[in-house]
Structure 1
Amino acid sequence: MDTLRYYLGYLPARTQPTKVEIDEIYPLHFNDDTKTLRELTLSWTARIDDVLDADHLHRSLARLLEMGDWRKLGGRLRLRASLPDGMLEIHVPNEFTPERPAVRYTREVFDVSINEHPLARRLPKSTRTASIQPGPFNFRPFSAREDAPSTLQDLLFSDEPQMSLHITSFTDATLVAILWPHTMTGALGLKDLVVAWCKVLAGLESEVPCLAGASRDVLEGFDTDNDDTQEPLLLEPKGLKGFKLLGFGLRFMWDIFWNPKVESCMLCLPCTFIEKLRQRASADLKTAGYGSDLPFLSDGDILTAWMALFIVCAQGGHRPATILSAVGVRDRLRAQWVPGATYVQNLALRSVTLISAVDLVQASLGKLAHTIRQDLVRQGTDLHLRAMIRRLRAGGRPGETPVYGDPGALLVVSTNWAKAKFFDNTDFEPAVIKSGV
């Protein structure tokens, strides 16, 4: 949207900093440099109920970004040519300095308990029953400093590194937040970054895995015409083009126009609630004739189906839906993965579930969850993922995201971060200087 505002004259003209000739240049791969990801900035905030040495955390992260190709993550985003057709690349300082750091570090200190701070005490907490709590937009002061880059334009037209580290210290707890552009990586890439960071923090630099795929994309080569494994894209007949695509875009903008204010909320769904949803889904499938031999459904399938039904009903229940689910390719795609290495890039594609308004009205939780699972299985094979990659590459750079389904459909997007297991993979214990209560 910032690119559009720029050309409509709503944003002042800005120029990129002068190129530093001795900077090392890394490419941004095709699945990182898409129009959709260019519009997204992500943040991750960890609440640690201990007082941590903030400077130790910063030094460890900065040290990681000095090691081998991990340096790529400390670079600056740049356009190779003028907007909007230029491809993005990453310029890494030859040497990181306080003036040109690998990560922008800021800290805020409050001499009170986290439970006494007027905003921090409202941070989400686990509850025994399902509950609605304040969402992440309410806690923006904890996710980044006030003037942190929030758009691609902010990064392109400054010498800001891709990542910002913002630490908020209380007398009994610490909030550790990372802000980064989605063009760098998604949830699983962040998990690998955090794991490597914790290794350095613990003095285990020798155990830090190498960062693979920094210069050469592991997904390269799947668009070749002589690939003897080519398979047709299942959704190609459902692709929106021409007036249908225009209609989808206009409907999407219309929805935004009439609903400009979106309340940021977080749902706490305890295990007991999810188990009840699973029992309900299982009962639905038994009623549908599956008997005791029930098909596999993940928690993600069930929650995505529940969320989609909830959203569609809230909108009146008269529109079809297009459900997009992120699909990680690392475990599904037969590629030349480097054993033991880490890949911090966007290695997720998507499965698409198309469902009509009539079917939505009649769908049970179990039936819709099973449909989502079937689509993921069919669209998540090695051959079909290759077909998706070829289709995306055919769209050029920056990549267009194909749209499928009914032009008037509600768009429901689901991304499951549970696989990253941040609670298990985050170990800041070496930085603890005082245990919390």
Structure 2
Amino acid sequence: MAANKTFVIGVGMTHFDKPGRKADVDYPDYVLEAATKALLDANISYDAVQFAAVGYINADSTAGQRGLYQLGLTQIPIVNVNNNCSTGSAALFLARNAVLSGQAERNPLDWALQTMNDVRPVVPEAPFTPQIFGNAALEYGETNKNKRSDVDEAMHLIASKSHTQSTLNPYAQFNQPATVEQVKKARKVFEPMTLLHCSPTSDGAACAIIASEAFVKKHNLGPQAIEITAQVMATDSTLAFDPKQETKSCLEIAGADMTRAAARKIYAQAESLHAISKSASSMTASLETNSLHMTLLEGSSTAAQYNKIPVNTSGGLISKGHPLGATGLAQCAELTWQLRGWCDARQVANATRALQHNVGLGGAVVISLYTKVAGIQQFGNGWKDPRERFGYNPAVSCRGITEADVRKVISKKGSLIGLPAGLHQAAKEKLKVVHGSGTAKL
């Protein structure tokens, strides 16, 4: 019988790094750390995993297998996902649907750039992504009630707040605060965006484990389980790419209509489940009217207005970093920690619901609604707080993993790095190199 509820029961992530900063670290090392932490959080071994969806960019076709084989050669289905910036969320979408169902070289932006060029000339020497979002902001300022100056000021406030919030996130690539004035005066990348408006490309990984309600009950995971109440994935409409469309829009190229479509669907899903709060309802209603990134600009001309809704508590992509394959799962980790109430100084008071929005340019948006379900607490007889297993709070302390950690979660059937009784020496040395001072010496 197909499950009708799905829960996040374990999350884990690595520090996000500037690509190439760690010469001796490759994607399998990041995968091992994030997946080990997620399994430890869920208090299960890799043998309990029945399906895996792995999101990544800039790696070979079966990189997911290469990464996860370190934890086990258990013959489960492993699906590799590449959906640009929403890759991590797309992997989460696949994993959730696998649980729901009872199962446990061409530039993809060429059409978008060609369409944008018809509206605003493409500048070859400027990065393409800032051009798409920068042009969307310019168009928004020209075609809506807000003046261009109001839009610019709102963008500066959003960037400043995100950078400031990153100082409380130990996983962030950048942990420095930034004033509105510093944002304005930073190096111009593409009008109206400065360097401090833009997310850095990062190396890193994140992991989430999804389970059915029956699994949550069986393994006494109720107090830590966060329900994914609703989730929608959508692609572009003809507003973005129809060659016959007389009015071409940079806003639509940036994902406005697919966000509107996804927002309408997730709002309907949430209402049908009677699980959407007033705050979530207002946010989703705004999503339905505009794309999310434009909604954040709406009426946000003052810091007081912008501060009404907690957004990007992790610091957001612009300071936390943006490893494209991991971003959606890193968002999942942050929202799970927030709804568990683990985030200390950056904790949102009385958080019971959270909304995640992740756009991949070229045609993929995923919106997810997370809910802390009070009733499921009763399933936690014999539950042990995951922070006790870690020996620290992973929401506020970024540490590496040890050989002992891997031993707890590795498959008993064996893996690329050996059997639980003895990891290969090469793997031991890798653990030392990857995690440095954050890892006990082996």
* More helix, by proportion: 2
Q: Relative contact order (C-alpha < 8 Å, sep 6+): which is higher?
A: 2
> Which TM-score applies when normalising by structure 1?
0.27
Q: Which has the larger radius of gyration?
A: 1
* More strand, by proportion: 1
> Which TM-score applies when normalising by structure 2?
0.27
